[in-house]
């Protein structure tokens, strides 16, 4: 089974852009055979603005379950600021991502194309956005690494580009490069790649591909991502973005799954309780 990579490109630019969407109803049967697993994500920030951005980077341990195309990750320790804290959980499906806060009985729904929303708003206000100096490299690294008891193949994808924004009293150019490493395995009963789906919260080229400026880059990364088969048991993303106004900022994020096993999963785990209400989005463009 082939899963497309959803995490490439300007992590810094996309991470803080989001918008709300209507909650999509879940259609998962009462009990189904699925997969359960533990997950851990660690991120560090270096360079300019590392102090401010460091407090906003995700670092959490969680417990996940997956059935078909539905995925749930509960945060057991740590947080994914500003979206989720310990005790919250995240639901992923083909329509988007829903962050659920049991402590307040609220939810916040986020569409897959959330970076588009802010960019479209910026363009509507007169901002001109262009993309250039695009580069893409894909490598299959030798050897077999065993993760969570499964043999994996190691792939590396490097994407680079320069984004230029003019208007609204701002003229800025940012040069970005992202190296994405994937350790892929075939896992019985797992019909998706949880780590790659969870990375959608950081944005990426696929989520911005509706914009004309990103179509060429998205097409290139999509063609390369088709070479990946199975599910990622480990993902490492290293990015470097250099903007004249802010200096260089580097991000290094590693996510890894462990204790992966088949399980009978209740469909109710993928449904937001009926008495929960829509909460306020933590992003400026939210509801």
Q: Is residue 30 part of a domain?
A: yes
Q: Is residue 6 part of a domain?
A: no
- Cα separation, 58 vs 71, in Å, equals 19
Element holding 51 (H helix, E strand): helix 50-54
| Whole-number percent of the chain with pLDDT over 90 | 41
Half-sphere exposure at residue 79, Cβ-oriented, CA atoms within 13 angstroms: 11
pLDDT at position 30: 79
Beta strand 106-111 with 277-278 is parallel
Using 50, 70 and 90 to split pLDDT, how confident is the model at 229? confident
Residues 12, 14, 20, 26, CA torsion sign: negative
Three-state DSSP at 277 gives strand
pLDDT at position 201: 63
Q: Is residue 285 part of a domain?
A: no
In tens, the pLDDT along 42-56 reads: 988 887 666 656 566
pLDDT at position 140: 92
Kindly tell me if the per-residue pLDDT of 77 is higher than 80: yes
- Cα separation, 287 vs 278, in Å, equals 9
| 3-class DSSP string for 202-225 | HCCCCCCCCCHHHHHHHHHHHHHH
Q: Is residue 213 part of a domain?
A: yes
Comparison of pLDDT for 254 and 13, the residue scoring more: 254
Mean pLDDT of the chain: 79
Kindly tell me if the per-residue pLDDT of 157 is higher than 80: yes
- Ramachandran bin of 171, using left for φ above 0, alpha for ψ from -120 to 50, beta for the remaining angles: beta
Report in angstroms the alpha-carbon separations of 85 from 46, 55, 59, 61: 23, 13, 10, 11
Kindly tell me if the per-residue pLDDT of 253 is higher than 60: yes
Q: Which residue range is the domain that position 117 belongs to?
A: 11-278
pLDDT at position 115: 60
Q: Domain total for the chain?
A: 1
Comparison of pLDDT for 277 and 131, the residue scoring more: 277
pLDDT at position 2: 35
Residue environment code for 131-162, b if the CB has 16+ CB neighbours within 10 A, otherwise e = beeeeeebeeeeeeeebbebebbbbebbbbbe
Kindly tell me if the per-residue pLDDT of 182 is higher than 60: yes
pLDDT at position 250: 86
If you average pLDDT over residues 237-260, what whole number do you get?
Answer: 86
Q: Is residue 1 part of a domain?
A: no
Which residue(s) pair with 136 in the sheet?
159
In tens, the pLDDT along 118-148 reads: 677 777 777 787 888 888 899 999 999 999 9
pLDDT at position 188: 92
Kindly tell me if the per-residue pLDDT of 13 is higher than 70: no
Q: Is residue 247 part of a domain?
A: yes
Kindly tell me if the per-residue pLDDT of 202 is higher than 60: no
If you average pLDDT over residues 248-267, what whole number do you get?
Answer: 93
pLDDT at position 4: 37
| Whole-number percent of the chain with pLDDT over 70 | 75
Q: Is residue 177 part of a domain?
A: yes
Q: Is residue 284 part of a domain?
A: no
């Amino acid at each position: 089974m082939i899963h497309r990579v959803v995490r490439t490109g300007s992590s810094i630019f996309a991470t803080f852009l989001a918008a709300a969407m209507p909650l999509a109803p879940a259609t998962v049967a009462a009990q189904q055979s699925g997969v359960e697993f533990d997950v851990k994500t660690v991120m560090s920030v270096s360079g300019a603005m590392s102090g401010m951005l460091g407090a906003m980077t995700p670092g959490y341990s969680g417990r996940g379950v997956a059935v078909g195309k539905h995925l749930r990750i509960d945060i057991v320790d740590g947080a994914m600021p500003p979206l989720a804290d310990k005790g919250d959980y995240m639901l992923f499906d083909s329509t988007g991502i829903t962050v659920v806060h049991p402590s307040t009985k609220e939810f916040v729904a986020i569409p897959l194309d959330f970076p588009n929303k802010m960019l479209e708003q910026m363009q509507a206000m007169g901002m001109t956005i262009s993309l250039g100096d695009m580069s893409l490299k894909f490598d299959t690294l030798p050897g077999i690494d065993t993760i969570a008891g499964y043999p994996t193949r190691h792939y590396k994808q490097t994407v680079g580009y320069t984004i230029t924004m003019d208007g609204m009293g701002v003229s800025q150019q940012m040069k970005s490069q992202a190296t994405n490493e994937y350790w892929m395995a075939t896992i019985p009963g797992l019909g998706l790649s949880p780590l790659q789906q969870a990375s959608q919260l950081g944005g990426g080229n696929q989520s911005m591909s509706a914009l004309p400026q990103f179509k060429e880059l998205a097409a290139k990364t999509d063609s390369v991502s088709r070479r990946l088969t199975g599910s990622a048991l480990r993902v490492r993303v290293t990015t470097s973005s250099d903007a004249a106004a802010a200096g260089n900022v580097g991000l290094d994020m590693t996510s890894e799954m462990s204790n992966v096993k088949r399980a009978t999963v209740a469909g109710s785990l993928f449904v937001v309780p009926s008495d929960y209400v829509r909460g306020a989005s933590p992003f400026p463009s939210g509801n």
